[in-house]
């Protein structure tokens, strides 16, 4: 079967779906090719903190209603350090922007809802997706669906297929440069139907990092730093709660309401950037081009800012024949990406106990926390970055 569209979007995660929706608002046709089923995509549990800029963009795209109804607004986040006083990193005070707790799953559900309402084309279980002629004027994507081979011709391809997708790998290796850091630990996360502590709290403790977060008034999300060879089976709920509470100061630990976990998983931590984010008529967005460790919760926010730049560029091309934004897409997106890569790397280093960390490094880190605690200017610098840098005009 032969099909044609203006933009072929590989991947139906938040980046691909949001791009498809925003292109639709701009009068541009797209087809989303997703390898998994919708049910599978919606089962994945990911981070849940949105920058004010992401919230504004989602509202402007008509996706604000559920966000405003269910999202939880915070003045910023807390950092707690062993037995020292907790530090509020106030994005509201220092950057004039609050933060939102709202799960990626809820956003993806909303995106599916509006794409389906608007008659959007999302092909689930698209198998064996291959990109062709991306360096020419008439690119194509082939894939298998329900045993049938299909060809989708298009003007542009958006590679929104995450870190393990096919898009980035379709660029000749000699034309992409990658930058990478793997961290020597992972995060063991659980979701539980218990009332959350109510704030996003990053904790550094001699036993390792921990994080308290939330989805809604009856859904809590917690993480602890774990070794890379940890096995989930070694972490029954009781052991997890016990370890988590030890890593928070007593005043916070006593507020943690425990209960059975409804999800438990281990994720490795990695920083990764591929440059450039364009090859011919292929444009990468979201995790397909970059990964950040979850410390700082920037992954989803970066996917959203990439999509903002990319939809603007594509709309300018189709409406006005102006390619200025297409040509600057990669540079513009990468400036924001590196800002977030740097912040999440810095927070990851500060808050985790590295296996080879010696007493000297631990003291340096404690001193960095003390400096943050004492200096409103240092807090302002961190808050500005945590709040998210503005999108470029
Ligand atoms: N063909 C079609 N689809 C594919 C392929 C492929 N070969 N490979 C991967 N996909 C799909 C995946 O099944 C997934 O649904 O692409 C989608 C990519 O979605 P995400 O991994 O969620 O990436 P993205 O949309 O960029 O969103 C970034 O997700 O990982 C988090 O922290 C990250 O919050 C950030 C957000
Ligand atoms: C989450 O709520 O899942 C979360 C919050 C903050 C982070 C990472 C994850 O930095």
Give the binding-site residues of ligand 1, using a 6 Å CB cut-off. 10-16, 33-36, 41, 46-47, 104, 126, 129, 160-162, 164-166, 286-288, 299-300, 303
Are 255 and 214 in contact by the 8 Å Cβ rule? The answer is no
What is the per-residue pLDDT for 44?
85
202 classed as catalytic: yes
Question: Chain centroid to CA 74: how far?
Answer: 19
* Atom 9 of ligand 2, residue of closest alpha carbon: 47
CATH of 2-46+102-180+270-351, one of 3.20.20.210, 3.40.640.10, 3.30.300.10, 3.50.50.60: 3.50.50.60
Q: What is the average pLDDT across 218-237?
A: 97
Range of weakest confidence among 44-48, 168-172, 274-278:
44-48
Number of the ligand 1 atom closest to the C-alpha atom of 104: 34
Closest ligand to C-alpha of residue 99 is 2
Confidence of residue 212 (pLDDT cuts 50, 70, 90): very high
Instruction: Using most ligand atoms within 8 A of CB, pick from 46, 50, 211 the residue to mutate for ligand 2.
Output: 211
Set 14, 21, 24, 74: catalytic member: 74
pLDDT, one tens digit per residue, over 293-314 is 999 999 999 999 999 999 999 9
Instruction: Using most ligand atoms within 8 A of CB, pick from 49, 187, 203 the residue to mutate for ligand 2.
Output: 49
Q: For ligand 2, is residue 141 a contact (CB within 6 Å)? A: no
Q: Between 14-25 and 299-320, two packed helices, what is the crossing angle to 10 degrees?
A: 30
What is the per-residue pLDDT for 289?
98
Q: How far is CA 264 from CA 31, 82, 107, 197, 267, in A?
A: 33, 25, 21, 19, 10
355 classed as catalytic: no
Question: How many A from CA of 296 to the centre of ligand 2?
Answer: 7
Average pLDDT, the chain: 97
pLDDT, one tens digit per residue, over 327-356 is 999 999 999 999 999 999 999 999 999 999
Set 52, 112, 202, 222: catalytic member: 202
Q: How far is CA 119 from CA 59, 157, 188, 215, 284, in A?
A: 20, 20, 39, 30, 25
DSSP 186-244: EEEEEEESS---SS-EEEE-TT--EEEEEEETTEEEEEEEE-TT--GGG--HHHHHHHH
Q: For ligand 2, is residue 5 a contact (CB within 6 Å)? A: no
386 classed as catalytic: yes
* Rg, C-alpha atoms of the chain: 21
Whole-structure pTM value? 0.97
Are 20 and 115 in contact by the 8 Å Cβ rule? The answer is yes
pLDDT, one tens digit per residue, over 230-274 is 999 999 999 999 999 999 999 999 999 999 999 999 999 999 999
The one-character DSSP state at 96 is: S
Question: How many CB atoms are located within 10 Å of the residue 242 CB?
Answer: 11
What is the per-residue pLDDT for 354?
98
298 classed as catalytic: yes
Q: In whole angstroms, what is the distance from residue 366 CA to residue 9 CA?
A: 46
Confidence of residue 46 (pLDDT cuts 50, 70, 90): confident
| Phi, psi (degrees; rounded to nearest 5) at 102 | -160, 125
Beta-strand pair 201-204/261-275 = unpaired
Q: What is the average pLDDT across 13-26?
A: 98
What is the per-residue pLDDT for 271?
98
What is the per-residue pLDDT for 83?
84
Q: What is the average pLDDT across 354-377?
A: 98
Q: In whole angstroms, what is the distance from residue 350 CA to residue 204 CA?
A: 8
pLDDT, one tens digit per residue, over 67-121 is 999 999 999 999 999 889 999 999 999 999 999 999 999 999 999 999 999 999 9
pLDDT, one tens digit per residue, over 163-204 is 999 999 999 999 999 999 999 999 999 999 999 999 999 999
Nearest of 36, 195, 63, 199 to residue 123 by alpha carbon: 36
The one-character DSSP state at 287 is: G
Confidence of residue 32 (pLDDT cuts 50, 70, 90): very high
Res 218 pLDDT > 90 = yes
Whether omega before 302 lies within 30 degrees of 0, making that bond cis, reads no
Are 102 and 70 in contact by the 8 Å Cβ rule? The answer is yes
Residue 244 backbone class (left: φ over 0; alpha: ψ -120 to 50; beta: rest): alpha
* Atom 30 of ligand 1, residue of closest alpha carbon: 287
Q: What is the average pLDDT across 39-60?
A: 94
Nearest of 153, 162, 157, 225 to residue 189 by alpha carbon: 225
309 classed as catalytic: no
Set 21, 205, 298, 352: catalytic member: 298
Q: Is residue 182 classed as helix, strand or coil in its secondary structure?
A: strand
* Atom 6 of ligand 2, residue of closest alpha carbon: 297
Q: In whole angstroms, what is the distance from residue 306 CA to residue 315 CA?
A: 14
Q: For ligand 2, is residue 123 a contact (CB within 6 Å)? A: no
Are 338 and 273 in contact by the 8 Å Cβ rule? The answer is yes
Q: So where are the chain's domains?
A: 2-46+102-180+270-351
Question: How many A from CA of 35 to the centre of ligand 1?
Answer: 9
Characterize 49-76 residue by residue with b for buried, 16 or more Cβ atoms within 10 angstroms of its Cβ, and e for exposed: bbbbbbbebbeebebbeebeeebbebbb
Are 192 and 222 in contact by the 8 Å Cβ rule? The answer is yes
Set 52, 222, 329, 386: catalytic member: 386
Map tokens 């999509």 to a residue.
Answer: 307
């Amino acid at each position: 079967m032969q099909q044609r569209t203006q933009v072929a979007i590989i991947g139906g995660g938040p980046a691909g779906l949001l791009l498809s929706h925003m292109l639709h608002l701009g009068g541009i046709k797209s087809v989303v090719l997703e390898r998994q089923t919708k049910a599978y995509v919606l089962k994945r549990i990911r981070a849940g903190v949105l920058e004010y800029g992401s919230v504004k963009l989602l509202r402007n795209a008509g996706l604000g209603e559920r966000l405003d109804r269910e999202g939880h607004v915070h003045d910023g986040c807390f950092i707690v350090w062993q037995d020292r006083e907790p530090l509020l990193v106030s994005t509201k005070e220092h950057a004039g922007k609050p933060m939102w707790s709202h799960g990626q799953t809820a956003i993806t559900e909303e995106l599916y809802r509006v794409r389906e309402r608007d008659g959007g084309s999302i092909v689930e279980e698209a198998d064996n997706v291959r990109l062709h002629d991306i360096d020419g004027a008439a690119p194509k994507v082939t894939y298998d669906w329900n045993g049938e081979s299909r060809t989708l011709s298009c003007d542009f391809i958006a590679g929104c297929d995450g870190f393990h997708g096919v898009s980035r790998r379709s660029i000749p290796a000699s034309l992409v440069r990658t930058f990478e850091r793997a961290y020597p630990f992972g995060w063991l996360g659980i979701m539980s139907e218990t009332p959350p502590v109510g704030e996003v709290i990053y904790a550094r403790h001699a036993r390792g990092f921990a994080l308290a977060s939330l989805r809604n008034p009856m859904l809590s999300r917690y993480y602890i730093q774990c070794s890379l060879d940890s096995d989930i089976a070694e972490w029954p709920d009781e052991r997890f709660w016990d370890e988590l509470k030890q890593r928070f100061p007593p005043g916070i630990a006593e507020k943690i309401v425990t209960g059975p976990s409804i999800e438990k998983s281990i994720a490795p931590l990695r920083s990764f950037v591929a440059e450039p984010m364009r090859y011919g008529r292929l444009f990468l967005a979201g995790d397909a081009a970059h990964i950040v460790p979850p410390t700082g919760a920037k992954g989803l926010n970066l996917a959203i800012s990439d999509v903002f730049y990319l939809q603007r560029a594509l709309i300018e091309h189709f409406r006005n024949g102006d390619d200025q934004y297409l040509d600057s897409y990669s540079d513009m997106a990468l400036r924001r990406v590196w800002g977030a890569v740097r912040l999440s790397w810095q927070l990851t280093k500060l808050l985790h106990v590295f296996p080879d960390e010696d007493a000297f490094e631990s003291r340096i880190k404690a001193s960095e926390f003390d400096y943050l605690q004492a200096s409103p200017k240092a807090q302002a610098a961190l808050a500005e970055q945590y709040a998210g840098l503005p999108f470029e005009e």
